[in-house]
Amino acid sequence: MNTVGLVAFALVGATKAIREEFDLFGVTVVGLATAFAGGMTRDLLVNRIPLALSTPTEIALGLLGVGLAVGVSATLESADTHPVTQFSDAIGLAAFTTTGAIVATQAGIPAFGVVAIATINAAGGGAVADILLDRSPFILLDDFYASCAVLGGSAYWMIVAVGGANGTAAAVCAAMVVGTRIAALIYGWSLPTAQVLGLTRE
Amino acid sequence: MNTVGLVAFALVGATKAIREEFDLFGVTVVGLATAFAGGMTRDLLVNRIPLALSTPTEIALGLLGVGLAVGVSATLESADTHPVTQFSDAIGLAAFTTTGAIVATQAGIPAFGVVAIATINAAGGGAVADILLDRSPFILLDDFYASCAVLGGSAYWMIVAVGGANGTAAAVCAAMVVGTRIAALIYGWSLPTAQVLGLTRE
Amino acid sequence: MNTVGLVAFALVGATKAIREEFDLFGVTVVGLATAFAGGMTRDLLVNRIPLALSTPTEIALGLLGVGLAVGVSATLESADTHPVTQFSDAIGLAAFTTTGAIVATQAGIPAFGVVAIATINAAGGGAVADILLDRSPFILLDDFYASCAVLGGSAYWMIVAVGGANGTAAAVCAAMVVGTRIAALIYGWSLPTAQVLGLTRE
């Protein structure tokens, strides 16, 4: 799952950078940032050396995603919204949420921190990529994306809190992220703004 | 003071995000980032695990600020510039500057670093929030805001340097930040740009 | 070399902030961020306390660069593209790339990580400054700038990998960065975008 996720995340990020006419160095950086910035931020927050930089296989997978983005940009206008990409991206979201929850739990971080680190691990890469592209992180604006990671991370924490096995918690977390993300794509879920809820003064 | 500051900072950040029509997840993230990103950056810089993620009380205070922002957005157009908010924000600025100066001094960091970490602790959260909102951090552009933290942090360092007690240094630091910030609000202080100073070629 | 680099980087960053009409606090922060953010990010990634905040000499050099930027903004419209500045900037790029490669190698980080950390050390400050100025980091868009750091970092790693002395590797790395950067300035090198390569569908 991690493998699919790294390739999909790098592909999505690199495709956005190609659309903004970044040069090939920029496309590579944005692609790799999408794939690795979430996990690296997680490592900084639990005070360990970011592992991504030391793992040739993971780097190779990220570069494969960037290469795919450049390759298919000749034939597909928006490789990042292709169903195969979106499905792979959902799998990556699930893999990264679960990894984040496991690492945070091992580091002895309590409830809210586990959910926060799982969400940052999963959605932080996309947020960093959007900042590099000079826009607000899309996860804050609309769509039902980071919310899937929040749900999955919460499920992980609750199962561990009631004495469940780590393996069970990981499986439920991953399933919940993939399930809610795919449902969100199919049914067009999004979180409301305060405006939509009628909570602001006109 | 820290309590008031966390609520006020989260309220200010969340109000900005509501105005930009972020969804409720985005409003929560920007609110919590405003309250916690300064302290977390400080923790990263002195190489310890960010404590905010492990402190349920602090998280609850941040969420309270977010809730207040959503709640009052129906009745107040700009809750973030209401006098009560601005006064609470000044208290938070003072509390966070003082905490930053204390932590940096304990970590054995010399003069400039103490002032820098105190300022980052106090003003870093607002800067991160502005980047998430896709604008330049307001503290760099105008207003007399981070400057109060610079003055307070400098006062703390000087008092400790001449042999003063930590408690005295903390009290003077906090008083100086609150005092200069409120004076800045009342008298409309701002730092000049190079243009205003006539230092640029037309 | 490091000395020249710190002054030049701070000068370039502060000049950009003056042009955007930031106030004097903002100009100072952007100048210091350009000079120090790359090295501080490197320190975070290899998990040590950022040294810049503890080194009065380096801070003084950064502030000298900021002062120069303010001083010459009255006589030069664009101090940051003056040949003297660009040459000093190339020397700084080389110094920071080499420092990054040495620190990463000492921290036991393998191939890709050495090149990545050398590049972040050299080009990260400018990228952070651009984000503070609310634009995409220029290194991702055009120009042949970070690419020089990638080439230098790769040379360092290859020489160490085949058993060369650290001193030799550092000298070759620095020479390659200065050489390629100056050639890029003279001949107007830039990396292509996917659009230029004809890889996108019209």
What percentage of chain B has pLDDT greater than the value 90? 52
Secondary structure (3-state) at C88: helix
Number of neighbouring beta carbons within 10 Å of residue B44? 20
Block residue for tokens 């999955």: A152
Among the ranges given (A51-55, B14-18, C66-70), the one the predictor scored with the smallest mean pLDDT? A51-55
Give mean pLDDT, residues A139-147: 85
Cα separations in angstroms, C172 against C87, C96, C161, C168: 18, 14, 14, 6
Supply the pLDDT for residue B156.
95
CA-based nearest residue in chain A for residue B53: A113
- Nearest residue to A99 (alpha-carbon basis) of A148, A38, A142: A38
CA-based nearest residue in chain B for residue C60: B112
pLDDT in tens, B62-72: 999 999 988 88
CA-based nearest residue in chain A for residue B14: A194
Confidence band (pLDDT; 50, 70, 90) for A56?
confident
Give mean pLDDT, residues C6-19: 91
With an 8 Å Cβ cutoff, are B199 and C70 in contact?
A: yes
Supply the pLDDT for residue C201.
59
The 3-class secondary structure across A34-85, one letter per residue, is HHHHHHHHHHHHCCCCCCHHHCHHHHHHHHHHHHHHHHHCCCCCCHHHCHHH
Provide the CB-side half-sphere exposure for A41 (13 A, CA): 23
Supply the pLDDT for residue B28.
93
Is residue B147 within 8 Å of residue C24, measured between CB atoms? Answer: no
pLDDT in tens, C14-31: 998 998 889 989 999 999
Chain B contact probe: residue of C49, C59, C61, C64 with most B CBs at under 10 A: C49
Distance CA B21, CA A201 (A): 13
Selecting from B18, B27, B59 the residue whose C-beta is nearest the C-beta of A112 gives: B59
Selecting from A26, A44, A56 the residue whose C-beta is nearest the C-beta of C110 gives: A56
Give mean pLDDT, residues C157-186: 93
pLDDT in tens, B170-198: 999 999 999 999 999 998 888 888 887 77
Distance CA C5, CA C121 (A): 12
- For chain C, list residues whose CB is within 8 angstroms of any CB belonging to chain B: 17-18, 20-27, 29-30, 40, 44, 47-50, 53-54, 56, 59, 70-71, 73-77, 131-134
Model ipTM value: 0.86
Block residue for tokens 């929030």: B129
pLDDT in tens, C108-129: 888 888 999 999 999 999 999 9
Q: Which residues of chain B does A139 touch, with a Cβ-Cβ cutoff of 8 Å?
A: 25-26
Distance CA C105, CA C113 (A): 9
Chain C contact probe: residue of A46, A48, A49, A68 with most C CBs at under 10 A: A49
pLDDT in tens, B132-144: 999 899 888 878 9
Give mean pLDDT, residues B9-38: 91
Supply the pLDDT for residue B201.
59
- pLDDT over 60 at C89, yes or no: yes
Supply the pLDDT for residue B178.
93
Secondary structure (3-state) at B23: strand
Residue that wins the pLDDT comparison between A190 and C77: A190
Give mean pLDDT, residues B9-34: 91
Confidence band (pLDDT; 50, 70, 90) for A173?
very high
Give mean pLDDT, residues B68-86: 80
What are the sequence ranges of the domains in chain C? 2-187
Alpha-carbon dihedral C84, C90, C91, C92, rounded to 10 degrees: 110
- pLDDT over 80 at A46, yes or no: yes
Distance CA A52, CA B15 (A): 36
Q: Return the biggest CA–CA distance within chain A.
A: 54
pLDDT in tens, C47-82: 878 877 778 888 899 999 999 988 887 777 677 778
